[in-house]
Amino acid sequence: MSILCCVPVIECVYCLGCSHWLWKKCMYSAGHESESWGLATSDEFDPIPRLCRLILAVYEEDLHNPMWAPPGGYGLDPDHVILKKDYDQTQGRVTPYMIYLDHDNDAVVLAIRGLNLAKESDYALLLDNKLGQTKFDGGYVHNGLLKAAMWVFEEEHEVLNRLLEENPSYSLTFVGHSLGAGVVSLLVLFVLQNRGRLGNIERKRIRCVAIAPPRCMSLHLAVTYADVINSVVLQDDFLPRTTTALEDVFKSIICLPCLLCLTCVKDTFTFEEKKLKDARRLYAPGRLYHIVVRKPLRLGRYPPVVRTAVPVDGRFDQLVLSCNATADHAIIWIQRESQRALDLMLEEDQVMQIPVEQKIVRQKSVVEEHDEEYRAAIMKAASLNIPMSPSPSYGTFHDTAEEGESSTGGSVNEGSPSMWSFKGMKRKWNRFVDRHFPMDDDDSGDMILKKEESSTLLCR
């Protein structure tokens, strides 16, 4: 048609469609994802900048003589650091971490730093996963991060138990950034399953803050543990949105924008219902806090706004084509923007001059709203009826090719074949035969077609 008319009609339509899609993607701002979320309050967001400082402190070799302290310091007493382990002591099982006894905030804190680009062990840990490889508590989790979390628990549960016995009113807080955020998210799941080894600590005394976490648990777990896990994401951060295999991300680190663009195209043609129905798909964990600092077609940074929710759909499923996708992942920027956001919240509270009694009432109402939102998210997730059987792979991680058993406390590590493989299609055919061609009752071995099924099949 294009040749006969001497006008490239089809080519023009194709180019216009691609240009329209690219324009929408480039105009898409991460702020749109959380537009319908509620605003976070200063009371619930207050610990975030302080915990970011504790993560930064893990990078220091000598906390008594810090070299990289942010403005205002790390906000900790080096004498109250119970232990601090580096790569030599962890033997590459996990990134460096420390345990800090925070008397000012009545908390025992375990902080784990993020990935070190110069350490092969960190890459091996993050890439140790295949789609649907490891089950845990009725859902799927990241295999390598779960192994690291279990190793930390086995190493430090006696120390944590002793500190909690000596300080019975203190809370137990886990905090991590990037790879460390994934480890602490799965660590808190393992702790809740083994509270007896920590003196039967109450669930309400356990908290987890995941800063810029990777996708590490399925939707069922991400929503169920939203009362314990809080995830903090700065605007366009790529890691919580990365649905492609992390192995491909780090293989293409030199041309990461090209990979992100291809991932955008892939996600565009994947239906939302198909994503939610796959039980193996991993998500950012828990309640989400989104720090928004930029607006489309405007230069510079604006006063940060923090929004929060426990969403079921729209858990950072859209990859953002932004030049800040990697910069927003840096812990130093997250610490600065979270501190700016908290300062603005506190200034607003001072301007409003809220009486103490009303503050207490507001805190209680916020807790009640979060509880209602949490229950509603669980009911919505349950209404999806997500099957535990695998569906065709489309993202998050590669399909597993082998079958085996997992060592996650009775959970099974199933590498079920894809439904499009030979075994999967043979299984579907056997189910079809069993459903429509039941065996005769006289054990003759002849197959009989159901009458109600015969009319249906003939009409197709």
pLDDT tens per residue, range 100-135 = 999 999 999 999 999 998 898 988 888 888 888 899
Please say whether the dihedral angle defined by the alpha carbons of residues 257, 258, 260 and 261, taken in this order, is positive or negative.
positive
Q: Give the model's pLDDT for residue 279.
A: 79
Buried b / exposed e over 417-437, threshold 16 CB at 10 Å, is bbeeeeeeeeeeeeeeeeebe
3-state secondary structure of 140: strand
Q: How far apart are CA 52 and CA 93, in angstroms?
A: 22
pLDDT at site 328: 94
Q: Identify the burial level of 405 via C-beta atoms within 10 angstroms of its C-beta, where 0-12 means exposed, 13-18 middle and 19 or more buried.
A: exposed
Query: Which residues on adjacent β-strands are paired with residue 134?
Result: 141
What lies within 8 Å, CB to CB, of 326 at 6+ separation is: 238, 256
pLDDT over 80 (residue 406): no
What is the share, in percent, of the chain residues with pLDDT greater than 90? 47
Query: Cβ–Cβ contacts within 10 Å for residue 61, how many?
Result: 10
- Contact call for residues 161 and 147 (beta carbons, < 8 A): no
What pLDDT, on a 0 to 100 scale, did the predictor assign at position 383? 76
Nearby residues of 218 by Cβ (< 8 Å), 6 or more positions away: 139, 140, 141, 279, 280, 281, 282, 283
Q: Where are the alpha helices (DSSP H) in 173-271?
A: 179-193, 219-224, 246-251, 256-268
pLDDT higher for 177 or 438? Answer: 177
Contact 419, 391 (CB under 8 A): yes
Q: Greater confidence, 418 or 187?
A: 187
> 20-384, which class in CATH?
alpha beta
Pair of tokens at residue 78:
């080096």
- Residue 72 buriedness (CB in 10 A; 0-12 / 13-18 / 19+): exposed
Q: Distance between CA 447 and CA 438 in Å, rounded?
A: 6
Rounded (10°) angle between helices 47-58 and 331-352: 160
Per-residue model confidence (pLDDT) at position 393: 41
pLDDT at 47 over 80: yes
Average pLDDT value for the chain: 78
pLDDT at 400: 43
Closest-CA residue to 129 (of 115, 141, 116) = 141
Is pLDDT above 60 for 254? no
Tell me the HSE value of 322 on the side-chain side, using a 13 A CA sphere: 25
Report in angstroms the alpha-carbon separations of 151 from 75, 148, 285, 319, 357: 28, 5, 20, 32, 45
Structure tokens at 48: 């975030």
Nearest to 384 by CA among 317, 435, 311: 311
Give me the sign of the Cα torsion angle 144, 240, 341, 325: positive
pLDDT at 208: 98
| pLDDT band (50, 70, 90) for residue 276 | low
Give per-residue burial for 98-125: e unless 16+ CB within 10 Å, then b: bbbbbeeeebbbbbbbbbbeeeeebbeb
Side chain identity, residue 135: K
Picking from 81-95, 104-118, 239-253, which range would have the lowest pLDDT averaged per residue?
239-253
Instruction: Rank 10-14, 331-335, 349-353 by mean pLDDT and report only the highest.
Output: 331-335
Do 57 and 67 form a contact (C-beta atoms < 8 A)? no
Examine the pLDDT at 154 and tell me if it is beyond 90.
yes
Reply yes or no on whether the pLDDT at 53 is more than 70.
Answer: yes
Residue range 305-316: average pLDDT? 90
pLDDT digits (tens, 9 = 90+) for 168-225: 999 999 999 999 999 999 999 999 999 999 999 999 999 999 999 999 999 989 999 9
Q: Higher-confidence residue: 395 or 335?
A: 335
Segment of 23-32, 89-98, 242-251 carrying the highest mean pLDDT? 89-98
